[in-house]
Amino acid sequence: MLVIQMTGLSGSGKTTIAKETQKKLIALNYNVEVIDGDQYRTTICKGLSFSKQDRIENVNRLGCIALGLAKHNVISIIAAINPYQEARSNLEKQKDFVRTVYIDCPLEIVKQRDPKLLYKRALLPTNDPEHLPNFTGITDPYEIPVSPHLVLQTHEMAIDEASTKLVDFILQEINMQSEFYFDFYSNIPVYKLIVNGQYMANLVDPSFEDMFWCTYKIIPLNSDYETILKDKKIWEEVQFTIIDDKGNQPNPHTFPGGGYKNFCDGYSNRINFRSLWPKRESNWTILKKAFGRLRFL
């Protein structure tokens, strides 16, 4: 699906924006998970220090969680300081659906906000027992991202505006993925079916929605769809699932009358895929879960 890795100073608004974005996307029937860096510091990232290498390892672990969720068609938003370009680039290189969002807020502004009083502690003398060492932006560096996919300047916009911009960005990215798969489907080699000497149908350029429904019938739930859909061997199986070699009874679909003729468009001789679509709401629910509640459904 999609992984958003946020980056920005402490107090810039990462977690707040991530959670508000999550609410808005859930309202649109998307599955969304916020991976809060602070929370995971007490669980799977417990024991990591704030050295550069451990910070990179911290992001690597958060990224593994996000990529795992993406396999199940969940949009993941990593809300962490994520201060090093190396860590951000490493995650981007792992999958082509990782996007970096820079939550930009000047140091002077976040120092004034300081909701957790962390900057106050970081600025104390080093011999003070309350001093907070290795604090990003004060005693540790923050590397501004080289080419983020989106920049949200939170000192110039409210949380609602920032989260709306992020929602719009995410929806645009998902649409771009849809366009990629549509282009992919439209270039799939097709098979002409001749039954009893009569041309029955040629599966050329079925709609994106139709191909997803047909694919759903043969790909198990919770599969790694990205990998499967990029393997052209799957499309031969898709077509022979829809049309058997005798042109009678499709498997797993059941057509009344036992033939395909009534399900072909008389003008183009293409199968009318909409006759294959599920008729009950319960089936739509299954389909939506199977393909991450894509917008066209």
Among 119, 145, 180, give the residue marking a domain's end: 180
- Per-residue pLDDT of 256-289, as tens digits, reads 333 444 444 443 444 444 444 444 444 444 444 4
CA-to-CA dists, residue 96 to 7, 207, 229, 291, angstroms? 18, 24, 15, 18
Q: 92 and 119: one domain?
A: yes
Q: Hey, which of 15-24, 170-179, 207-216 has the most confident mean pLDDT?
A: 15-24
Q: 160 and 201: one domain?
A: no
Q: 58 and 150: one domain?
A: yes
The pLDDT score that the predictor gives to residue 177 is 63
Contacts of residue 83, Cβ cutoff 8 Å, sequence gap at least 6: 7, 55, 136, 140, 141, 142, 143
User: In which domain, by residue range, is 261 found?
Assistant: 188-290
Q: 33 and 117: one domain?
A: yes
The pLDDT score that the predictor gives to residue 212 is 53
Neighbours of 38 (CB within 10 A): 14
- Per-residue pLDDT of 52-84, as tens digits, reads 999 999 999 999 999 999 888 899 999 999 999
The pLDDT score that the predictor gives to residue 272 is 41
Structural domain contains residue 250: yes
The pLDDT score that the predictor gives to residue 96 is 82
- Per-residue pLDDT of 208-252, as tens digits, reads 444 555 555 555 555 555 555 555 455 444 444 444 444 443 433
Q: 174 and 254: one domain?
A: no
pTM of the predicted protein model: 0.63
The whole-chain average pLDDT of the chain stands at 73
Q: 235 and 144: one domain?
A: no
Structural domain contains residue 297: no
Q: What DSSP state is assigned to residue 30?
A: -
Among 180, 210, 230, give the residue marking a domain's end: 180
Q: SS3 for 35?
A: strand
CATH of the domain at 143: 3.40.50.300
Q: 170 and 201: one domain?
A: no
Q: 226 and 138: one domain?
A: no
> Residue 170: what are its φ and ψ, rounded to 5°?
-65, -45
The total domain count for the chain is 2
